[in-house]
Chain A
Amino acid sequence: MENKFTVRGLNLYYGDFQALKNINIDIPEHKVTALIGPSGCGKSTFLRTLDRMQDTVEGARVEGQILFDGEDIYRRDCDVIKLRKKVGMVFQSPNPFPKSIYENIVYGPRVHGITEKKKLDEIVERTLKEVALWDETKDRLNDSALGMSGGQQQRLCIARCLAVEPEVILMDEPTSALDPVATAKIEGLMHELSKKYTIVIVTHNMQQAGRISDQTAFFLLGELLEVNPTDKIFSDPDNIKTEEYISGRFG
């Protein structure tokens, strides 16, 4: 089994505040890795170091090493654009552009140089089918994406992410703004996607982590306390803190 990411000795500072402390973790290819932990423990921060979105935050500073397919993404000559094409991201609340459904999806491919209408049409159809949104939207691709329901918007955002053909999808609590029905749809979708993509998902919801992930990482106060196969984390965790958190004693 290949590791998509290998993280070694990762520290992240916001000014003087250290938000991530010596993180070491391997993220295997074609698996779902869940990041859990109480809020403020650094899950989003960690997730965003993987596609260098944290670069866009004023005052953030990173130490240590993250290898993506064996290459250090924090070395100076790393092509961030290429990295972000391969490592897509889905955000906590659905954030489609204030454009049509069609334009949302073709945004990424256009940025990466695809201009041919036929190809773009194909991408739109393929990705909307992949997120099970095609039947609902095929007759109104030119409508504004902002008119869709929250769950549809989030699926559109996943489709938009798939449109640039990433290898990894990072998801930051993708269902926290959605109702149970929409959540169930997205979870089913993740199951499908995990066959083709490597997925790293932050979740607040323990059951969700249990349902969808292969391995689970538990963060607390900026430290990574435990990484183990999800079965083990939920039945027999190594760390007493993990057990306390999972059984709902804090967080």
Chain B
Amino acid sequence: MNTREKAIEKLIFICAAVSVAAVALITIFIFAQGMPAIQRVGLFRFVFGTTWSPTNGSYGILPLIAGSMAVTLGALVIGIPTGLGCAVFLSEVVTKRQAGFFRSAIELLAGIPSVVYGFFGLAIIVPLVRGLAGAVAPDAGATGLSVLSGAIILAIMILPTIVSISVNSIESVPNAYREASYALGADRRETVTKVILPAARSGIFSSIILGMGRAIGETMAVLLITGNVAVVPHSIFAPTATMTGTIAMEMSYAAPDHQQALFAIGIVLFVIIVILNGFAQVVMRRFGGAAA
């Protein structure tokens, strides 16, 4: 018994050590590969340079950062209200059994490979956006490959994250708060907006931040539907390119300098994700448990 427990303990320790080592190795690797490019170009010119044209020796990734930010922000603008609406609907409106059905459906979204989202976007969203853009500005000749298309697909992709974490934190709000509110004559809207959502806010924040992380890191789907034009997008119908998409597309044919620059983009992404995660943890700690 005792030896067996010790063995299991060792095994778990090894697993933990391996995952820490993996993170460390990845970090070291991308920094080792990418730092030379940043040193050569200069951090400022690399991050704020407005021309990404590696074959001509211009390594400014501002358009890519802007592209990633634009689709991510768009995804949040669409995804947060939708996700929160879903979460409130599932936890406060329908019965437990109905909610179970909806939840499995939404959680299924999380299991769909992202290239399938890309195809779906290409087949359905892009033509719709093209139609919409044509109606708004007929002469612009928009293709539909755009920030908006990327944002819509990403919004769908982050929905499971936002919904399931938010539902959990809404459901962990003590029922006594609901009862107190209803007993004072509040209706459901007031109870949800003034009592339940504030009490569940830490879980909701972290669901949003995790969703945001997912959106920034997503590659395949956005690659297929944003058009991959490395310019700072001037409208939601304009095509754009993201950091992840650019890395994925260009890595296969990149010359050594170019390749290093792509790794350097990886560093920037990495830093952004680390900051987001840190922020999520601060928020969680600051607001304590889900309901307190």
A selection of 24 A-B contacts at a CB cut-off of 8 Å is A53-B179, A53-B182, A56-B179, A56-B182, A58-B96, A81-B185, A81-B187, A84-B182, A84-B183, A91-B176, A91-B180, A93-B176, A95-B174, A95-B176, A98-B198, A99-B198, A107-B181, A108-B184, A108-B186, A111-B185, A112-B185, A146-B292, A160-B180, A164-B185
Contacts A111-B186, A111-B190 known; A58 to B181 CB distance under 8 Å? Answer: no
Nearest B residue to A93 via CB reads B176
- With A and B bound together, what is the CA distance between A84 and B190 in angstroms? 14
User: Chain B: how many interface residues by the 8 Å CB criterion?
Assistant: 22
Residues of the B chain whose Cβ atoms lie less than 8 Å from the Cβ of A88:
183-184
Enumerate B80-122 residues with CB–CB distance to A below 8 Å.
95-96
Closest to A103 in B: B194
A95 to B179, CA, bound (A): 9
Q: How many residues of A contact B (CB 8 A)?
A: 27
Interface assignment of B195: CB less than 8 Å from any CB of chain A = yes
Q: How far is B194's CA from A176's CA once the two chains are assembled, in angstroms?
A: 28
Q: Is B29 in contact with chain A by the CB < 8 A criterion?
A: no
Distance A112 CA – B184 CA, assembled complex (angstroms): 9
**Interface digits, B187-214 against A, CB 8 Å rule (1 contact, 0 not)?**
1001000110011000000000000000
Contact A84 B184 (CB under 8 A): yes
- Interface check B35, CB cutoff 8 A: no
Query: How far is it, in angstroms, between the C-alpha of A107 and the C-alpha of B185 when the chains are bound?
Result: 10
The answer on a CB contact under 8 Å between B184 and A160 is yes
Cα distance A96–B291 when bound, in Å? 13
B279 contacts A by Cβ under 8 Å = no
CA–CA, A213 and B96, complex, Å: 40
A56, B199: Cα distance in complex, Å: 20
Minimum CB distance partner of A85 in chain B: B185
For A81, list chain B residues within 8 Å (CB): 185-187
Docked complex Cα distance between A98 and B195 (Å): 8
CB-based contact A53/B183 at 8 Å: yes
Residues of A within 8 A of B178 (CB): 56
Q: Is B177 positioned at the interface, with any CB of A under 8 Å from its CB?
A: yes
Known: A98-B199, A99-B198, A164-B184. 20 other contacts (CB 8 A): A53-B179, A53-B183, A56-B179, A81-B187, A84-B183, A84-B185, A88-B184, A95-B179, A95-B180, A96-B180, A97-B199, A98-B292, A107-B181, A108-B184, A108-B185, A108-B186, A112-B185, A146-B292, A160-B180, A161-B184
A107 in contact with B184 (CB, 8 Å): yes
